Amino acid sequence: PSLPAPLAARAERWFGRPATVVEVVELSLGLVRVGFVAVTWRGRSWLPGQEVEFRVGDREFRHYTPAMVDPTTGRFDVVFVRHGEAPGTGWLAGLAPGVEVGVMGPGGGVRREPNRLELSSVMPGQYALTDAPISLLARLAPERAAGIY
């Protein structure tokens, strides 16, 4: 999503909570796991598939699904996929241990349905799932394939 810069700044101030980068790990070419710690996440409930949102530019926000959340310490990890000149790519390049960012969430995310095949362990970001893993999961559980989207 994109907003005029003054509104984006106000949204981040009103809804964002501070989080500090504690770890940046290059998993493979174009795939980076970033660990964040936020005091406001301590003791907070979270469901697999819920999203967080970061302001990644003057006007741009991006949604991501945490790969791991530890409510005891307030740590959560997000796996990011670099996409050429995308707004999130430049923001990601500026992350290093000690950098503070604003994070909104957790919230939204996956709608839960009975007998739905859960993909929460393979949802690191908006573009990380491709047709191949979804096809494989559909073959492994064809009776629940209608719940995969």
Q: How far is CA 38 from each of CA 29, 108, 145, rounded to the nearest angstrom?
A: 27, 19, 36
Residue 73: per-residue pLDDT: 94
| pLDDT value, residue 66 | 92
Q: What is the pLDDT of residues 82-134, one digit of tens each?
A: 888 887 888 999 999 999 998 987 766 555 555 555 544 444 444 444 444 54
Query: What's residue 123's pLDDT?
Result: 46
Strands 68-70 and 61-64: unpaired
pLDDT tens string 50-76: 889 887 877 687 889 999 999 999 999
Mean pLDDT, range 126-143, rounded to an integer: 48
Q: Which of 136, 54, 120, 121 is nearest to 90 (CA)?
A: 54
Tokens of 80: 């990011």
By the 10 Å C-beta count (0-12 exposed, 13-18 middle, 19+ buried), 134 is classed as middle
Instruction: Give, as one character, the DSSP assignment of residue 67.
Output: S
Beta-bridge partner residues of 35:
23, 77
pLDDT at position 50: 87
Least confident of 7-11, 40-44, 132-136: 132-136
- Residues 88 and 1: beta-carbon distance below 8 Å: no
Q: What is the pLDDT of residue 63?
A: 86
| Contact by Cβ (8 Å): 110, 120 | yes
Note whether 88 and 62 are within 8 A (CB). yes
Peptide bond into 142 cis (omega under 30): no
Q: What is the pTM of this model?
A: 0.68
